[in-house]
């Protein structure tokens, strides 16, 4: 699966929010700028056009002479600052106006001209930008314009303000977005950590609350309520199991002590003795099943608590392999243990891990026919400790591999063989308790049981499994 660029949904939302606000503010400021620019230009153009109209009227009334008079009067009297006038005849000679000559270098824009006028202000020589409109009256040409240097600085300033505004908005929203996504992220992480601890069996743990009554706080309250219920029920189940253990074991215990007392009687028929011995064996079998069932129940509901220690899987496998080796020879099975010389450390309960391995070996002993091979392999694989038991027995069909990990589930083909259907369930429960995984695979032919456990930080062991 492709990992998204931003994995946190809060960060994604915040990014989206920052982007849309920045685009919105940018658009707003840009349109303000564009409208302002247009209205400033239009306003000036309208003034010039008005003036041209009135001057045209003067021309209509009194011809060029009258126009020249009006222009000369206006350039002095009329209060429009930066007003530019020029009236020329057919030869280009100036008749009136405050411009010395027809502008040579100019940029035309329809009837409009844009050019610069050089003016002397004290000792400085300054170029003033001018926008003007030309009116052709017979052979005469009239130019009316305006110095636009007055309004020119407004637009760059406005543009700068718009850019700064957009930039600051982007920065501010980014900071807010970052803070927001971090806050949401940290609260979600808090919830996730608490959930991890609860999953690993610490049912007393609760989600952190900040009493702000916000959505997260309300969620925490609801989840904590749910956990209270689950904890009560688990405690009830556990108590039930403990008393069931006691109540079932007590009669078994009485049966066994009575049977043993009976065996000590002086006169007892050989047939009766055999029956009593068989009954004692059955009691032992019941006792073992009950023990395994209770161990599964306690393992499933429990957490490692105080029984946790560093267990070296390599050494444990070697020892258990050694314990089973003579029995394997008796059964004409080839049992081998491949464990590295360096320790393969798992944090956990040594007794339960040992029971896991013995259950796997006893399963193999039960199903692998004489002459078969059983191999136990220990190693580390991608930072996880692996314990793998392989055999070349009949294996387990793929469809049955998940079900046989549940209590009392056995393959139909094994219905006639002794066994409780609890061995693999305990294996699954013990791996879960150790935050590990168990997988049943095909050994072509035979069964591979692969148990993997997380390794504590700093645990050594380098050989690949």
Partner 1 sequence: MQILLVDDDTDAAGHIAKGLRDAGYTVEHSADGQQGLELASTTHFDLLILDRMLPHLDGLSIVSQLRQQGVKTPVLILSALGTVDNRIEGLRAGGDDYLVKPFALAELLARIEALARRASGDAQSAGILRLADLELNLLARRATRAGREIELTAKEYQLLEFMMRRVGQVVTRTMLLESVWNLHFDPQTNLIDVHISRLRHAIDRGYDRPLLHTIRGAGYTLALQA
Using CB under 8 A as the criterion, which residues of the chain lie in contact with partner 1 when the complex forms? Answer: 242, 245-246, 249-250, 252-258, 260-261, 264, 280, 283, 287-288, 291, 294-295, 298, 302, 305-307, 319-320, 322-324, 326-327, 330, 349-352, 354-355, 358, 362, 365
CB of 388 to partner 1, least distance (A): 20
CB of 257 to partner 1, least distance (A): 4
CB of 301 to partner 1, least distance (A): 11
Q: Which residue, 114 or 420, is less far from partner 1 as judged by CB?
A: 420
CB of 371 to partner 1, least distance (A): 18
Q: Which residue, 157 or 246, is less far from partner 1 as judged by CB?
A: 246
CB of 358 to partner 1, least distance (A): 5
Residues 130 and 124: beta-carbon distance below 8 Å: no
Q: Which residue, 366 or 384, is less far from partner 1 as judged by CB?
A: 366
- Judged by phi (left if over 0) then psi (alpha if -120 to 50, else beta), residue 442 lies in beta
The two tokens of residue 218 are 């309300």
Q: Which residue, 142 or 360, is less far from partner 1 as judged by CB?
A: 360
**Burial (CB count within 10 angstroms: exposed 0-12, middle 13-18, buried 19+), residue 220:** buried
* Rounded alpha-carbon distances, angstroms, from residue 443 to 109, 279, 397, 410, 424: 87, 39, 11, 19, 17
Q: Which residue, 304 or 344, is less far from partner 1 as judged by CB?
A: 304
CB of 295 to partner 1, least distance (A): 5
CB of 374 to partner 1, least distance (A): 13
CB of 343 to partner 1, least distance (A): 16
Q: Which residue, 302 or 395, is less far from partner 1 as judged by CB?
A: 302
Phi, psi torsion values for 100, nearest 5 degrees:
-70, -35
Round to whole Å and give the CA distance between 251 and 227. Answer: 36
Tokens 């989840």, located at residue = 223
DSSP bridge pairs for 140: 137
CB of 2 to partner 1, least distance (A): 45
Q: Which residue, 229 or 254, is less far from partner 1 as judged by CB?
A: 254
Nearest Cα residue to 324 out of 288, 365, 353: 365
Residue 11: how many CB atoms within 10 A of its CB?
A: 18
- Count of residues for the chain? 465
The two tokens of residue 126 are 């300054």
Q: Which residue, 89 or 414, is less far from partner 1 as judged by CB?
A: 414
Q: Which residue, 251 or 397, is less far from partner 1 as judged by CB?
A: 251
CB of 254 to partner 1, least distance (A): 5
Q: Which residue, 295 or 380, is less far from partner 1 as judged by CB?
A: 295
- The distance in angstroms from the start CA to the end CA of the chain is 26
């Amino acid at each position: 699966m492709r990992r998204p660029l931003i994995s946190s949904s809060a960060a994604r939302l915040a990014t989206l929010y920052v982007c849309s606000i920045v685009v919105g503010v940018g658009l707003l400021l840009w349109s303000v700028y564009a409208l302002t620019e247009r209205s400033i230009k239009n306003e000036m153009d309208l003034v010039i056009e008005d003036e041209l109209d009135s001057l045209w009227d003067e021309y209509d009334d009194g011809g060029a002479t009258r126009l020249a008079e009006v222009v000369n009067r206006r350039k002095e009297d009329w209060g429009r600052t930066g007003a530019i006038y020029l009236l020329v005849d057919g030869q280009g000679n100036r008749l009136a106006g405050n411009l010395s000559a027809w502008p040579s270098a100019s940029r035309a824009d329809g009837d409009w001209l844009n050019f610069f006028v050089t003016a002397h202000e004290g000792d400085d020589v300054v170029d003033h930008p001018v926008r003007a409109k030309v009116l052709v009256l017979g052979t005469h040409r009239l130019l009316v314009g305006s110095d636009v240097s007055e309004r020119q600085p407004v637009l760059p300033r406005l543009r700068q303000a718009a850019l700064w505004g957009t930039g600051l908005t982007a920065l501010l929203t980014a900071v807010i977005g970052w803070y927001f996504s971090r806050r949401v992220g940290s609260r979600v992480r808090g919830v996730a950590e608490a959930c991890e601890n609860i999953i690993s069996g610490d049912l007393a743990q609760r989600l952190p609350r900040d009493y702000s009554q916000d959505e997260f706080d309300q969620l925490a309250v609801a989840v904590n309520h749910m956990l209270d219920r689950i904890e009560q029920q688990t405690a009830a189940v556990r108590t039930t199991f403990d008393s069931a253990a006691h109540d079932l074991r007590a009669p078994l215990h009485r049966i066994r002590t009575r049977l043993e007392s009976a065996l000590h009687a002086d006169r007892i028929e050989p047939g009766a003795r055999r029956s009593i011995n068989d009954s004692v064996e059955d009691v032992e079998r019941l006792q073992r099943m009950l023990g395994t069932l209770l161990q599964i129940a306690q393992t499933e509901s429990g957490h490692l608590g105080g029984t946790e220690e560093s267990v070296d899987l390599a050494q444990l496998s070697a020892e258990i392999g050694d314990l089973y080796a003579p029995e394997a020879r008796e059964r004409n099975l080839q049992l081998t243990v491949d464990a590295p010389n360096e320790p393969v450390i798992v944090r956990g309960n040594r007794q339960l891990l040992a029971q896991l391995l013995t259950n796997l070996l006893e399963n193999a002993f039960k199903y692998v026919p004489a002459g078969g091979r059983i191999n136990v392999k220990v190693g580390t694989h991608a930072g996880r400790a692996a314990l793998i038991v392989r055999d070349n027995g009949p294996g387990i069909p793929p469809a049955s591999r998940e079900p046989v990990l549940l209590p009392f589930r056995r393959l139909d083909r094994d219905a006639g063989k002794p066994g409780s259907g609890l061995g693999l369930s305990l294996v699954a429960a013990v791996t879960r308790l150790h935050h590990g995984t168990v997988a049943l695979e095909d050994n072509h032919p035979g069964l591979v049981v692969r148990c993997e456990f997380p390794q504590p930080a700093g645990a050594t062991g380098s050989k690949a499994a």
